[in-house]
Structure 1
Amino acid sequence: MNIISNFVFRQSICLSTRHLLINSRTYKSNLSYDKLFPNSKSLDILSGPITAPTNESTGKDKFNGFIPTDKLDITHRHARGPGGQHVNKTLSGVEIRFHIDSATWIPDWIKPRFRDMYQSRINRDGYFIIFSDETRHRLLNQAQCLDRIRALIRDASIIPKGLSEEERKTIEQR
């Protein structure tokens, strides 16, 4: 009798656990976007594919800040430095590389200046390489790499001002 009641008890626990798992997929918190903003159309943005902004709004020869992640070679590896078991088990470090000449999202006039400014980060094959392992989270490290790439491209797009005639004269007098 004891074995039968034990079996029935286990089956009832399994059924209730299965019921909880099925119902937890449809559960929505009171703080979910659907309940907070029921008539909002901004949620449709998240469901569709992400497209690059057009250059007409920013100018054809300017970098608009959009970096297509499908054109990047993103690899994950172990982070460097001390940290114990977490560092040894997880691949939280992110390395991003892309070929400069085939990067269509960088305007052509920026590429030579970018290549000159950051020669130490470019390998023989023409790939720009950047690495981040500052946080414990892979996604944050990837976002940090993308922000660095964006900032470096913007730095390369700044054209230095030439010297004025007065500045040239003062330099010649020295």
Structure 2
Amino acid sequence: MRFIVDDALWLPEYVRDRLKSEESNRVNKNGEYVLTSDRKRTQMANLDDCMDKLHEILIRMAELPKLPDAETLERLERIAGNNRRKVNKQFQSQKKSSRRVSRDD
């Protein structure tokens, strides 16, 4: 079964973009999402199976990522603070080392 992602205007744009990026190995050069199934004995049953797979994939792509919790945000702030401190410390060190007279001069 082939599903043309760009022609599916009924899907939100972020779902189409996410489908093309996360499932890029199944999207061909023409922008068709290719699904196959051989679980059943008949072609119509396999087509129904492909439709079920596509439905599950679209639901998964439509889910929005969870926001980070307070603990994660606090940890990220602490890491950013440490990085700022290290950069400031390195700047001060370079400033002081530039004032030193070297023995080669």
| TM-score for the superposition, normalised by structure 1 | 0.41
Report the secondary structure of 1:124's partner residue.
Answer: coil
Higher relative contact order (CA 8 A, sep 6+): 2
1:105 to 7, 10, 13: 10
Identity %: 25
Aligned to 2:28: 123
| 1:158 is the counterpart of 2:78 | no
Equivalents in 1 of 2:10, 2:2: separation in Å?
A: 14
- Uncovered stretches (5+) of structure 2, i.e. residues with no partner: 80-105
Q: Which amino acid aligns with 2:57?
A: L
Higher helix share goes to which structure? 2
CA-atom RMSD, angstroms?
1.9
Q: How much has 1:169 moved relative to structure 2?
A: 2.5
Aligned to 1:144: 49
Equivalents in 2 of 1:167, 1:107: separation in Å?
A: 29
Q: How much has 1:113 moved relative to structure 2?
A: 1.2
Q: Which amino acid aligns with 2:56?
A: A
Equivalents in 2 of 1:120, 1:172: separation in Å?
A: 36
Report the secondary structure of 1:132's partner residue.
Answer: coil
Moved over 3 A (4+): 170-174
| TM-score for the superposition, normalised by structure 2 | 0.65
Q: How much has 1:148 moved relative to structure 2?
A: 0.4
Q: How much has 1:172 moved relative to structure 2?
A: 6.5
Q: How much has 1:171 moved relative to structure 2?
A: 5.9
Equivalents in 2 of 1:105, 1:131: separation in Å?
A: 23
Q: How much has 1:103 moved relative to structure 2?
A: 1.5
- Uncovered stretches (5+) of structure 1, i.e. residues with no partner: 1-95
Q: Figure out how many residues of one structure are paired with residues of the other and give that number.
A: 79
Q: How much has 1:165 moved relative to structure 2?
A: 2.9
Equivalents in 1 of 2:6, 2:13: separation in Å?
A: 9
Higher strand share goes to which structure? 1
